[in-house]
Amino acid sequence: MRGATDVRRPLTQPLPLAGERRRNRFFILCVAPSLAVLAIITLLPALYLLATSFTPLNLTRPETAWDFSDPLISYRQLLTDDRLGNSIWVQVKLSFWTVTLQLLIGVALALLLNVKTRLLEALRTVYLIPMVLPPIVVAIIWKVIYTPDISPMHGIFRSLGWTVPALITDPHWALTSIIIADTWEWFPFTMLMVLAALQMLPQELLDAAKVDGASPWQLTRHVTLPFIQGVLLVAGLFRSIDSIKAFPLIYILTDGGPGSLTEVTNYYSFLQAFNFSYLGFSSAITVVLLAATIVLSWVIIRAVGWGVRVD
């Protein structure tokens, strides 16, 4: 009956302390099963990863499984591993260029497509195709494009009399070829988010600016961009985190090569775990990568903020 009384209470009127406690307990009870499932499927594997990183676990030597006698051995090995250092640098370059290009192309296209015509609405759907394709299919498409013998792109170049090297095995182009493919695959994500934000932009803001004599560039610079700043941050953050997980393109297109030119950190970690069986060392790399991702996200949020509320 008290519950029924509470339900009829106006929302603005605070609950008595005991009632509030009961309600909180009820909410906690409701959420508890979800939290428990979440803990089992995310927290436990993460804890196992952390624990493994403190062992020298090697699949071919079972005695190393729970050997905590030298818990920092894998972390010390990280410090002296030049190839890991190289992979981090490759990762930085890949993330920087892919995220930057995806944001620029995504915003540009969203601004162009933010007009209500049938043709442009159809175009929006077409632009979304790369993003909805399975990543492995994207990788195979680009493998065909980059393989000179069967590539339509190389065929066109040849017919024009241009000699273009095989991009994925050319040291000057290998990473760029991955950047191009990744940008093609993921710019629609940024475009979609920005487009959604643009469609919520109040027309009155634009009209007011126009009345004040703002040019199209000034409208974009002072009204549109501040309005979508938060969305851009979220999109950039998602893409930054996702770029750290880049895998299928590298696996299919370059295998981390030529040499180690396109070997990013998670690919290196994969090789250590699944080709060489160094699970302890691979876990240490992954823990560091995870920590770096969290720090990076925090720094970006702190530096840029969550955007400006214009309402």
Partner 1 sequence: MSTLRRRTVLGGALAPFAMGAAPAVHAQSGGKPYNGTTINCSCFQTTYYEYLKNYFPEFQEKTGIRVNFTMQAFPVYNQRTDLELSTKGSAIDACNITFIYSGRWIGAGWFTPLDPFLKDSKHTPADWDPDDFVSGAQSQMKNAKGETFAFTHEAGAMLNIASRYDLIEKAGLKMPETFDDLIKVCDAVDGKDNVKAFVADKLHHWNWIPYLMGNGGNVFKDPPANLTPTFASPEGIASADWYANLLMKYGPDGQLSYSDDQAMRAQMSGRANMRTQAITWGVPLVKDPESKVAKTTRFGLMPAGPKGNFPGSNSHGLGIPAGSRKKEAAWEFIKWALSKEMIARIVDKHGYPSVCRTSVIKSPKFKEVMTLNGQDLAAMYLEVLQLGGQTGYMKYRTVPVYPQVGDKINRAIDKIATKQQAAPEAMKQAQAEAIQDLKKAGFKVDG
Given a contact cutoff of 8 angstroms between Cβ atoms, the answer to whether 190 and 104 are in contact is: no
Q: Which of 100, 260, 293, 297 binds partner 1 (CB under 8 A)?
A: 260
Q: Which of 9, 21, 23, 83 binds partner 1 (CB under 8 A)?
A: 83
Cα 51 off chain centre by:
26
Site membership for partner 1, residue 168 (CB under 8 A): yes
Rounded to the nearest whole angstrom, what is the least distance from the CB of residue 278 to partner 1 in the complex?
A: 6
Cα(275)–Cα(278) distance, integer angstroms:
8
Residues 275-294 that bind partner 1 (CB under 8 A): 275-278, 281
Q: Count residues binding partner 1 (CB under 8 A).
A: 37
CB closer to partner 1, 248 vs 256: 256
Q: What is the DSSP letter of 14?
A: P
Site membership for partner 1, residue 69 (CB under 8 A): no
Rounded to the nearest whole angstrom, what is the least distance from the CB of residue 146 to partner 1 in the complex?
A: 8
CB closer to partner 1, 80 vs 203: 80
Rounded to the nearest whole angstrom, what is the least distance from the CB of residue 285 to partner 1 in the complex?
A: 13
Residue of 228, 234, 230, 199 lying closest to 107 (CA atoms): 228
- β-bridge partners, 123: none
Site membership for partner 1, residue 274 (CB under 8 A): yes
Cα(190)–Cα(101) distance, integer angstroms:
10
Rounded to 10 deg, the angle between the 82-113 and 174-198 helix axes is 40
Cα(217)–Cα(72) distance, integer angstroms:
55
Rounded to the nearest whole angstrom, what is the least distance from the CB of residue 18 to partner 1 in the complex?
A: 53
| Exposure of 114 in the CB half-sphere (CA atoms within 13 A) | 20
Q: Near partner 1 by CB under 8 A, which window of 40-48, 192-200, 208-216, 269-277?
A: 269-277
SS3 label, residue 278: strand
Cα(228)–Cα(223) distance, integer angstroms:
9
Site membership for partner 1, residue 58 (CB under 8 A): yes
Site membership for partner 1, residue 176 (CB under 8 A): no
Site membership for partner 1, residue 90 (CB under 8 A): no
Site membership for partner 1, residue 183 (CB under 8 A): no
H runs (alpha helix) in 199-224: 203-211, 216-219
Which string of x and - marks every residue 127-166 that binds partner 1 (by CB under 8 A)?
-------------------xxxx---------------xx
CB closer to partner 1, 142 vs 186: 142
- β-bridge partners, 58: 61, 278
Q: How many CB atoms lie within 10 A of CB 242?
A: 16
Residues in contact with partner 1 by CB under 8 A are 56, 58-62, 77, 80-83, 146-149, 165-166, 168-171, 253-261, 271, 274-278, 281
